[in-house]
Amino acid sequence: MQSGTTEKLCVIVGAGMSGLLAARTLKQAGIRTIVFDEAREVGGRMSTCRFGDGVFDDGAQFFTVRDTCFAALVAAWQSEDVVAVWSHGFAKPDGSNNQDGHPRYRGIGGMAAIPTHLARGLDVRTAVRVSAVQHSGGYWLVQMDDGPTVRADALLITSPSEKSVALVTAGGYPLPTLVRAALENIEYTRCIAVLALLDGESNVPEPGGVQYSGDNGAGEPVWWLAENQRKGISPQASAITIHAGPRFSLENWDRTDDEVVTALIGSVHLFVGSRVREVRTRRWQYSQPVEPHSEPCLVAAETPPLVFAGDAFGGAKIEGAALSGLAAAEHIRRLLV
């Protein structure tokens, strides 16, 4: 498959926050983009799932804003009814409220509403796994699993860094030593999420989130507890999300779902308050980078451009991923003109 046009084409691997924002920015600059994601839905770790009559944010729970550029984007999303302020702090494990005045934002209807909004009008192809990328004749050849090859003028890779290195290695491209070392240095915590649909109301205090991490809460075995009905995204049913801490997640990664559900629900039983009607688990192998790379993105090649971005660069979390996507798009735009 060729790009079929004289317009410059940038292929983006990953339709999470970083990849989608980069695609929108490049499109505004007149550069064509195709975004590939191996998942069935866009959003990556900004994920909302449904079962029974419950709606659950199972990955990222909320986000904060520090940077003025990101603040402008968030203000626009607010005016478009895509995001809302959830709270100005969360409860502590002892049930007391810990308001600090800083807004915490959520997607309206769930966190996935934000990437879904960002993907509108873009050429995003889901359920397509990129298996290798190859440098050939002044282009990037992007190989899909069992599928065609796309020839691109520029390539942006936003998958977890270990997977990004594997894509380039599979295509036989020798990454510069410092770039490879920077990518290989990035480690991620794991997170086991338990999602429980309740028969009645929970005892999770306002505003529907309990933060076990930080201060005197060790964050183990439970890091975070949310009640998605109180959060405002699960109107029909009380639906709780439990995130295990990084140590528990690592040590219990291979245990059965029943075992982790029993341990984690047992740890928060005072807040559960009602019978659990149905339960699911989700394992996030690449949950959050332990120590992001200091630069907002990594330019591995200039002609043709190869750039790595995502929350492993710059500032971590959703805001860091957004800023990384913007920075990567700016590099690619400059290199393609």
Ligand X SMILES: Cc1cc2nc3c(=O)[nH]c(=O)nc-3n(C[C@H](O)[C@H](O)[C@H](O)COP(=O)(O)OP(=O)(O)OC[C@H]3O[C@@H](n4cnc5c(N)ncnc54)[C@H](O)[C@@H]3O)c2cc1C
CB 19 within 8 A of CB 125: no
* Radius of gyration for the alpha carbons in the chain, expressed in angstroms and rounded: 20
Decide: 146 and 4 in contact? Cβ < 8 Å. Answer: no
The answer to whether residue 14 forms part of the interface with ligand X (CB under 6 A) is yes
Does a cis peptide bond (omega within 30 degrees of 0) precede residue 207? yes
How far, in Å, CA of 157 to CA of 145, rounded?
Answer: 16
Window 100 to 159, contacts with ligand X (CB under 6 A): 129-130, 158-159
Give whichever of 147 and 273 is closer to ligand X, judged by the CB atom. Answer: 147
CB 133 within 8 A of CB 168: yes
How many residues touch ligand X (CB under 6 A)?
Answer: 36
Considering the complex, state which of residue 21 and residue 272 has its C-beta at the smaller distance from ligand X.
Answer: 21
Applying CB under 6 A, which part among 23-31, 36-44, 90-98, 259-267 lies near ligand X? 36-44
Interaction with ligand X in 315-334: which residues (CB under 6 A)?
Answer: 317-318, 321
State which residue, 19 or 207, has the beta carbon closest to ligand X.
19
Check binding of 17 to ligand X (CB under 6 A).
yes
Residue 70 near ligand X by CB under 6 A: no
Measured from the CB atom, the residue of 231 and 243 that comes closer to ligand X is 243
Question: Quick one: which of 10, 11, 12, 16 contacts ligand X (CB under 6 A)?
Answer: 16
Token pair 């998942």 is found at: 39
Q: Please state the closest distance from residue 187 (CB atom) to ligand X, in A.
A: 14
Amino acid identity of residue 145, one-letter, is D
Pairing relation of β-strands 305-308 and 298-302? antiparallel
Residue (of 36, 2, 45, 28) closest to 322 by Cα position:
45
According to the binding rule CB under 6 A, does residue 63 interact with ligand X?
yes
191 binds ligand X (CB under 6 A): yes
13 counts as binding ligand X under rule CB under 6 A: yes
- Rounded-to-integer distance, Cα 235 and Cα 173, Å: 50
Would you call the peptide bond into 304 cis, given omega within 30 degrees of 0 as the criterion? yes
State which of positions 293-312 bind ligand X (CB under 6 A): 310-311
175 binds ligand X (CB under 6 A): no
- Closer residue to ligand X, CB minimum distance, 296 or 305: 296
Other residues' Cβ atoms within 10 Å of the Cβ of residue 316: 18
Interface region with ligand X, contact rule CB under 6 A, candidates 42-50, 135-143, 172-180, 229-237: 42-50
Contact 105, 86 (CB under 8 A): yes
Among 11, 12, 31, 44, binds ligand X (CB under 6 A): 44
Of 246 and 305, nearer to ligand X (C-beta) is: 246
Kindly tell me the burial class for residue 247, based on how many C-beta atoms sit within 10 Å of its own C-beta (0-12, 13-18, 19 or more): middle
Angle at which helices 177-184 and 161-170 cross, to 10°: 140
Which residues in this chain contact ligand X in the complex, by CB under 6 A? 13-19, 36-39, 44-46, 59-63, 129-130, 158-159, 163, 167, 191, 193, 243, 284, 287-288, 310-311, 317-318, 321
